[in-house]
Amino acid sequence: MKRSDINRIMAQAAEMIAANGFALPPFAHWSPEEFAARKDAARHVIDARCGWDITDFGAGRYDEMGLFLFTLRNGLLADLQKGGGMCYAEKLLISAENQLSPMHTHLLKAEDIINRGGATLAVELYGSDEAGRFDEGAGGTVWCDGIRRDYAPGDRLHLAPGESVTLRPGDWHAFWGEGGDVLIGEVSTVNDDETDNIYRDPIGRFSEIEEDVAPTHLLVSDYATWLT
């Protein structure tokens, strides 16, 4: 992805987030230079990979297959593994109209996916085989706002603003905006995007960046190179 496109997507996302009554934390507005100057104080933000995250899943077709994310807060795997401490995470996502977030599941993370505003959020569901692999013939069970819902393979949920679904490891899911763009909330156990996203098809979680302009704000995938 070009850095200029990333900067544009950030600006558009910030407008949609604000229009729905959400305010991003102060570090969201730091320039790369301010982030570098404050990196010692912001060590947890960096280690927990909080912040801006924009991906085309390595396909180069962001409008068709991509996702905007901002990790607001996140614990560490060490806390989750010991069963105490900061064992939770929260994100905002934007799924554009017909923009696919491809079929995947998680090994550890359970998550509530919440339509926070905008259009309808479509979620396609499949279950797993005994080894946890994608199974096109398997269904399963999820909870929509605390109400049990059994799904057949390939069933689709259509979540209006305010509605949610709880997904557990082994619930394979893909999602997109239907009828317009959707602001999504995600509340989950600790989030580890480097190792805990298991995709059905061989794709990349993070994008390669073409540095055609300077970044407005750093992505979480920039931290290793910009903040050393």
> What value does the CA radius of gyration of the chain take, rounded to a whole number of Å?
17
**pLDDT score, position 58:** 86
What CATH number corresponds to the domain at position 143? 2.60.120.10
Asked whether the predicted pLDDT for residue 24 surpasses 90, the reply is: yes
Q: Looking at residue 65, what DSSP letter applies? A: B
Asked whether the predicted pLDDT for residue 87 surpasses 90, the reply is: yes
**pLDDT score, position 208:** 86
Band of residue 202 on the pLDDT scale cut at 50, 70, 90: confident
Total number of domains constituting the chain: 1
Q: What is the spatial distance between Cα 180 and Cα 182, in angstroms, rounded to a whole number? A: 7
CB under 8 Å to 101, separation ≥6 — which residues?
A: 65, 66, 67, 95, 174, 175, 176
CB under 8 Å to 176, separation ≥6 — which residues?
A: 95, 96, 97, 98, 99, 100, 101, 121, 122
Q: What is the spatial distance between Cα 218 and Cα 28, in angstroms, rounded to a whole number? A: 9
Cα torsion 195, 209, 102, 109: sign: positive
Give the position of tokens 């085309």. Answer: 56
Q: Containing domain of residue 164, as a range?
A: 3-226
Q: What is the pTM of this model?
A: 0.95
H/E stretch holding 150 reads: strand 147-151
Give the position of tokens 């990979």. Answer: 49
Q: What is the spatial distance between Cα 68 and Cα 181, in angstroms, rounded to a whole number? A: 11
Q: Looking at residue 213, what DSSP letter applies? A: S
Q: What stretches of 38-188 show up as alpha helix (H) in DSSP? A: 43-47, 77-82
Mean pLDDT check: name the lowest of 29-33, 68-72, 113-117, 205-209: 205-209
Band of residue 150 on the pLDDT scale cut at 50, 70, 90: very high
- Give the tokens for residue 11: 């600006």
Q: What is the spatial distance between Cα 1 and Cα 16, in angstroms, rounded to a whole number? A: 21
**Residues forming a β-bridge with 176:** 122
Q: Considering the chain, what is the average pLDDT of its residues? A: 96
Asked whether the predicted pLDDT for residue 203 surpasses 90, the reply is: no
